[in-house]
Chains A and B, each alone.
Chain A
C-alpha cells in the first residue's frame, strides 16, 4: 500500500534535485590544432565535482544552479577556467593551450587518466609523442613494440610486433583503429605493425577490467584513434629511415570547420636487396629477382556541422608484397640427338593487406546525451600466385602452369553508441552493433596450359571452399556510478549473439569494476570481467603470417570464454610518480591449439581435424611505476606470472607451460630531455626464457617393412613433454638520441638509435649442434689431426646483434 507512495516520493525528490541543477556540456580541444582532447578532466573548483571527456572530447556535467567556477585540465596544457552564474543548461567549449615551457616535442601528452580517481584498471594510455622517442629496432617507431614493454605483455618472437597479454594467445587481442577491427595488424611477417605512429593520436591498451562496450576477444583491447587533422593550419612530418620513409600532412580544408589528415609510408627492402641479388646473379649466372615491401596509407577527414553535429570519415589501406622470380635457359638433346633450346620463366608472389574504412557521426541529442553512429568496413585479403612457363624455342611450343590462391575476411558493421550523463553520479554508456562477416576460407584457381604448334590444350579449374557468412550482434550497457566520494563502481553487461551455419551462440558477459579511494592519493580497485570470442585464428605462434586465417566458431569449437579477476591498487607519489600494483587470475576455455605435427602455418582445409580443444589459465602480479610529467618520463614495470594450458589430447593430457609463459619480466623505458635540442631515450628488458619443446634423448627405430622412405629406420627423438625446456633468459638494452634544430620552416630531427646496445646474444631458438675436437699436430707423424671425439652440444641461435640505425625527419 505504501510502496507506490514511497516510490513516488523518491522520484519527486530526485526530480526536484534535478530541477535545481543545470547541465554544462561541450568539447575540450587543443587550441592550436583543435584536436579533441580525449579524457581531459572537467571539474567545479569549489565542490570538486567533476567528469572526464569521452573519446570525442565531449563532456557533460550537471551542477547546482548558482555561481560556479568550471575548470578544464589536461596534462601538459594550461588549465582553463570559466566563472559563470549557472541558471540553465549551458554549452562551454574549452580550448586548452600547451604550457609555454612545453611547446616543444618533448611535451608529453601524458597519462591523462588519474588512476586513483578512475574505476578503470588494467588500462594503460600510451602517449604517442613518448612512443616516438623510445628506441626500437631499425629506428622504426612502432606502437605494438612499445606495448610489448608494458607489464603483463609479452612480445613473442624477437623483433616482431606480436603481443601476448596476461597469458593470452596472439589471436586474443582486439585491435581497433578508429573503432574498426583490424584483422592482421602486421607487415612483413610481424616485424612492423600496420599502425603508422605519425597518423595516430591516442593508443590505449586494456588488459583487464574491460568496459562493457568492448567485446569479441579474450585478452586485450588495443584502442587506437587516428589524428583528426589540424583545424588551424597545415602541418606536416617527413621522415626518412633506413628501411622506410614516411610522410604525414594535416590541415584545414575549411578553417575551424573541416580538416584532413593523410599519411603514407613505404619500405624499400626490395630496393636495398637489388644489389645483393645482382651479385648473386653475377656469381651464379642466374637471372633472379626477389624482394619484399609494404606500403600503407591513412586518411581522415572531419567536418563540424555545428556544436551538436560532427562527421568523421577515416580510412586505412595497406598492402604487403613479396616476390621471387627467375628466368633461365637450357639446351637439351632429345631422343633424336637434336639440340632443343628451352627458356624457363617462373614468378611467385604473395600479396596481403587490410582495407579499412569508417564513417562516424557525432550528434549531441541533448546536453546529457551524446550519440555516435558508425558504419565501418574491414577487409583482410591474402593472395598468392605463381606462374611457370617453359618454352621450347626450337619447336615453338610452351607449357604454362598458373596457380592462384586467395583467402580473407570481410566485415560490414553498423553501430550506435550513446554517452548519457543523467547526474554527476552516473555516467552511462550503452549501444548496439551488428556485423555481417564474410569469411573466405580459401579459393584457388589452377590453370595448366600447353600449346604445341597450332594446337592448344589446357585445364582451367576454380576450386573454392564454401564462403561462410555470419551475423554478429552485440549490445551493451555500463554505468560508472559514484556511490560515495570514496566508492565508485563501473557495472555493465555485454551481450553477444553470433549466428553462423545454422548455429547461434548467445553469450552474456557481465563486467564489474570497483574503486575505493582511501585518500586523494591512494585507491584500491577490483574487477571481474567475462569475455567471449567468436572467431578462431589459425596462426603461427611465433610469427605473424599472411596465411593466418580467421574462421568462425563452430559447433565443435564453440566460442572461447575468459573470466578474469583483478585486484589492485593505485598510488600517486611525489614527483609526479604513479604506482600501480595489480594481481590477476584468468581462466580460458574452448581454446584451440594445433595438434602435434600440424603445421602452424595457416591451413584452411579440414582445420577442425588439425586442432585440439582445451583450456588455459594464467595468474600473476604486475607492478608499474610511471612518471608522465617533467623532463624525465617513462616507466619501470615488473611482472611475475604463470601461464599454462591443458588439452586432453596434447602432452598426454598433462598441463604444460604456454609458449610465452614467463615467470619474471622486467621492462624499463625512460626518456629524458636534456635541452631543447637534445633528448635521449633508453629501454632495458629482462625476461625468463621462453618455454620450448626440445628433444632430450635419441632412440633407435626399426626399418619400416615394405618401404623405401628415407625416414624408415632413422633414429627418433624423445621429447620430455610439450614446452619441456626453458631457453636462457632474455635481456636487452636499447638506446637512442634525438637531435633537434629549428629551421626556417620547421624542425628537423636526426635520430640515432642502438638496438641491443651491449650486444647480448639473446636466444632466438635452441638447436643441437656438433662440436668437433681441436686440431693438433701428431708429434710422430706431423699430421694435423682432431683431438678428441666430436660432441653434441646445445646451441642457441641469436639473430639480432647490436643494430645501429639513423633516421631523419622534418616537422613543419
Chain B
C-alpha cells in the first residue's frame, strides 16, 4: 500500500475539493472487438469474444459475442472454424460476476496446440468486422534442478520456517525468451480449541497461495525513496525476460515462508494432519503473454494514480483489443504430509493470508 505521507497537503485539498459533472465529448469513440485466449501447449484452444463498452452512461453488461466466426490458421494454413460451447458460471459467484466477467459462450478448437507452431485467429463479426491475432507456442524450458533448504525461522514469524529454493534452468542463446515462474504453496496447519486443559476441537486450516518471487531477475530490489514513500509495483505474475541471462544457466533463488511442522520439539505435526504442497512451474511464454501480463498488472496498479501516466494494456489483436498468448510448461511438485485425508476436518478460507490467532 502506498504511504501517502508526502501528500498531506494535497490530499487535504483534494478532500476539500468540489466535484461536478462535465459533458463527455464522445466524438470518434466506437466499441471494439475484444478477443482473449491463452493457448497451452498440448491443449485445445479456447477463445472468448466480447465488445468493449464506452465508460459513460448507464452501467451495462459486456456485450459477449456469441455469433462470431473464428477461423484457425496453423502455420498460415486454415485448419478449422472454432465451435462454441456454453460456459458454466463458476460455482459460488453471484449474478454480477456472471454478467460482467463470464462469457456465456466459449469458442474452442478440435486442434491441440503444438510447440513451435504459429496459431492465427481470424474473428469475423457483422458489427465489428474482422479482427486478427496470432502467436507462436514457445519451446518449453526444462528445470535442470531444484534445491530446497530450510534456513531457519522466518523473520518476524517464528511459526514459520524460511525455505530457500533454488531453481536452475538454461536459457537458449541468441534468441529472445520470456518466462513466468509459478510458485504455488498449499499448507495445512493444525489448530485446536481448548477449554481449560481439554482439547475440545481441532481443525486443519488450509492456506493456498501463489507467491511473488523476489529474485534479482524477477523482482529486483527497489528499496529507494520512491519505493519507501509511495510504494512500487511488483511483479506478482513473476514474468521475466532473458535480457540479463541470455544463453546462460541461471538459478532463481528465493525464500518461501512455510509452516514449521516441527515447531513443538519432538513432535512431527504431520502426524496430526499438517501438510504442505509445493508446486513450481517454469513457463516458457510468448512475448505477447509477457507484455500483456506486465502491462495489465501495471494498468491496474497505476489506475487512479495522479502521478503516473496511465498504462495502456498490450494487445496483439489487430482491429480490436485483448490478447492471444501462449505458453508451455515444465512442472515440479512435492509434498510433505498427506492431503487430503478423510478423517481430518479441513477449514478452508485462509486464502492468501498470514492469519494469526491465539486460541
Given contacts A596-B311, A764-B17, A766-B22, whether A322 and B236 have CB atoms under 8 Å apart is no
Are A711 and B55 within 8 A (Cβ)?
no
- How many residues belonging to A are interface residues under a CB distance threshold of 8 Å? 94
Are A761 and B20 within 8 A (Cβ)?
yes
Residues 334-353 of chain A: 1 if any B CB is under 8 Å from the residue's CB, otherwise 0? Answer: 11010000000000101000
Q: Which residues of B contact A159 (CB under 8 A)?
A: 13
B209 adjacent to chain A (CB < 8 Å): yes
A83, B327: Cα distance in complex, Å:
93
A708, B182: Cα distance in complex, Å:
11
Given contacts A707-B236, A709-B236, whether A720 and B29 have CB atoms under 8 Å apart is yes
Q: Using a CB-CB cutoff of 8 Å, which residues 297-329 of chain A contact chain B? A: 322, 324
Q: Which residues of A contact B50 (CB under 8 A)?
A: 699-700
Are A188 and B9 within 8 A (Cβ)?
yes
Q: Which residues of B contact A726 (CB under 8 A)?
A: 25
A540, B3: Cα distance in complex, Å:
17
Are A602 and B293 within 8 A (Cβ)?
no
Are B222 and A706 within 8 A (Cβ)?
no
Interface pick from B67-75, B123-131, B166-174, B226-234 = B226-234
A598, B309: Cα distance in complex, Å:
7
A599 adjacent to chain B (CB < 8 Å): yes
Given contacts A600-B307, A700-B101, A792-B57, whether A324 and B230 have CB atoms under 8 Å apart is no
Given contacts A547-B225, A700-B101, whether A799 and B25 have CB atoms under 8 Å apart is no
B345 adjacent to chain A (CB < 8 Å): no
> Taking the nearest CB of chain B, how far is it from the CB of A786, in angstroms?
13
A722 adjacent to chain B (CB < 8 Å): yes
B224 adjacent to chain A (CB < 8 Å): yes
B38 adjacent to chain A (CB < 8 Å): yes
Are A715 and B210 within 8 A (Cβ)?
no
A172, B220: Cα distance in complex, Å:
32
Are A699 and B34 within 8 A (Cβ)?
yes
Residues 262-299 of chain A: 1 if any B CB is under 8 Å from the residue's CB, otherwise 0? Answer: 00000001000000000000000000001010000000
Are A713 and B101 within 8 A (Cβ)?
yes
Are B18 and A798 within 8 A (Cβ)?
yes
Q: Using a CB-CB cutoff of 8 Å, which residues 19-76 of chain B contact chain A? A: 19-26, 28-29, 31-32, 34, 36-38, 48, 50, 52-59, 62
B108 adjacent to chain A (CB < 8 Å): no
A407, B228: Cα distance in complex, Å:
14
Q: Which chain A residue has the least Cβ–Cβ distance from B7?
A: A189
Are A693 and B32 within 8 A (Cβ)?
no
> Taking the nearest CB of chain A, how far is it from the CB of B134, in angstroms?
18
Q: Which chain A residue has the least Cβ–Cβ distance from B102?
A: A700
Given contacts A290-B8, A701-B36, A719-B312, whether A765 and B16 have CB atoms under 8 Å apart is no
A793 adjacent to chain B (CB < 8 Å): yes
> Taking the nearest CB of chain A, how far is it from the CB of B159, in angstroms?
9
Are B55 and A697 within 8 A (Cβ)?
yes
B351 adjacent to chain A (CB < 8 Å): yes
Q: Which residues of A contact B55 (CB under 8 A)?
A: 695-698, 717, 768, 792
Residues 119-148 of chain B: 1 if any A CB is under 8 Å from the residue's CB, otherwise 0? Answer: 000000000000000000000000000000
> Taking the nearest CB of chain B, how far is it from the CB of A84, in angstroms?
61
A41, B296: Cα distance in complex, Å:
64
Which 7 residue pairs of A and B lie closest in terms of their CB atoms, listed nearest first?
A: A597-B311, A699-B52, A597-B298, A799-B17, A711-B300, A603-B226, A697-B52
- Chain A residues with a Cβ under 8 A of chain B: 159, 188-189, 191, 269, 290, 292, 322, 324, 333-335, 337, 348, 350, 382, 384, 386, 403, 405, 407, 442, 444, 446, 463, 540, 542-543, 545-547, 594-606, 693, 695-702, 704-709, 711, 713-720, 722, 725-726, 728, 761, 763-769, 771, 789-801
| 19 A/B residue pairs, CB under 8 Å, sorted by A | A188-B9, A269-B9, A322-B8, A442-B224, A547-B225, A597-B301, A598-B308, A603-B232, A702-B37, A706-B182, A708-B352, A716-B321, A717-B303, A719-B310, A790-B59, A796-B19, A797-B14, A798-B18, A799-B14
- Chain B residues with a Cβ under 8 A of chain A: 3, 5-10, 13-14, 16-26, 28-29, 31-32, 34, 36-38, 48, 50, 52-59, 62, 100-101, 103, 182, 184, 208-210, 220, 222-230, 232-233, 236-237, 281, 293, 295-313, 321-323, 351-352, 358
